[in-house]
Amino acid sequence: MSTTDEQFLADFANMSSFGATAGGGVDRQAGTAADHATRSWFSQWLAQHGFTETVDGAGNQFGTLELVPGAAYVLVGSHLDSQPLAGRYDGAYGVLAAAHAGTRVASEFRSGKVDPAYNLAVVNWFNEEGSRFAPSMMGSGVFTGKLALRDALATADPAGTTVAEALAAGHRSPDAGAPVLAQVARYAEIHIEQGRELEESGTHVGIVDRTWAASKYRVSVDGAQSHTGATRMEDRRDALYGAALVIAAARELTAEFEPGLLHTSVSELFVLPNSPVTIARQVLMNLDLRSPDESVLILAMERLGKRILDAQADSCTDIHLTLTHNWGLLSYQPGGVALGRASADGLGFTSKQVMTVAGHDSTNLKDVVPTVMLFVPSVEGISHNEAEFTRDEDALRGVELLTDVTRRLVRGDVIEG
Residues 352-411 that bind its own copies (CB under 8 A): 356-359, 380-386
Is residue 160 near its own copies by the rule CB under 8 A? Answer: no
Is residue 183 near its own copies by the rule CB under 8 A? Answer: no
> Looking at beta carbons only, is 248 or 313 nearer to its own copies?
248
Considering only residues 240 to 259 of the shown chain, the ones binding its own copies according to CB under 8 A are 240-241, 243-245, 247-248, 251, 254-255, 259
The amino acid at 260: G
Considering only residues 277 to 316 of the shown chain, the ones binding its own copies according to CB under 8 A are 277-281, 286, 288, 290
Q: From 5-13, 58-66, 97-105, 129-137, give the range in contact with its own copies by CB under 8 A.
A: 129-137
Build a one-symbol-per-residue string for 202-221: x at contacts with its own copies by CB under 8 A, - elsewhere. Answer: ----------x-x-x-----
Among 176, 230, 295, 348, binds its own copies (CB under 8 A): 230
Contacts of 383 (CB under 8 A, 6+ apart): 87, 90, 192, 194, 195, 358
Q: How many CB atoms lie within 10 A of CB 68?
A: 16
Rounded-to-integer distance, Cα 235 and Cα 216, Å? 32
The amino acid at 268: E
| Full 3-state SS string of 182-226 | HHEEEEEEEEECCCCHHHHHCCCEEEEEEECEEEEEEEEEECCCE
Gyration radius of the chain's alpha carbons:
23
Q: Is 108 exposed, middle or buried (0-12, 13-18, 19+ CB in 10 A)?
A: middle
> Looking at beta carbons only, is 74 or 92 nearer to its own copies?
92
The H or E element spanning position 308 is helix 294-315
Rounded-to-integer distance, Cα 202 and Cα 205, Å? 9
Is residue 189 near its own copies by the rule CB under 8 A? Answer: no
Is residue 88 near its own copies by the rule CB under 8 A? Answer: no
- How near is the Cβ of 277 to its own copies at its closest, in Å? 6
Contact 65, 119 (CB under 8 A): yes
Is residue 4 near its own copies by the rule CB under 8 A? Answer: no
Is residue 24 near its own copies by the rule CB under 8 A? Answer: no
Considering only residues 314 to 343 of the shown chain, the ones binding its own copies according to CB under 8 A are none
Q: From 113-121, 142-150, 263-271, 334-342, give the range in contact with its own copies by CB under 8 A.
A: 263-271
- How near is the Cβ of 393 to its own copies at its closest, in Å? 22
DSSP secondary structure code for residue 26 in this structure:
B
Among 234, 295, 348, 414, binds its own copies (CB under 8 A): 234
The H or E element spanning position 287 is strand 282-291
Q: How many residues bind its own copies (CB under 8 A)?
A: 74
Among 11, 20, 72, 84, binds its own copies (CB under 8 A): 84
Rounded-to-integer distance, Cα 97 and Cα 375, Å? 12
Is residue 276 near its own copies by the rule CB under 8 A? Answer: yes
Q: From 41-49, 93-101, 351-359, 409-417, give the range in contact with its own copies by CB under 8 A.
A: 351-359
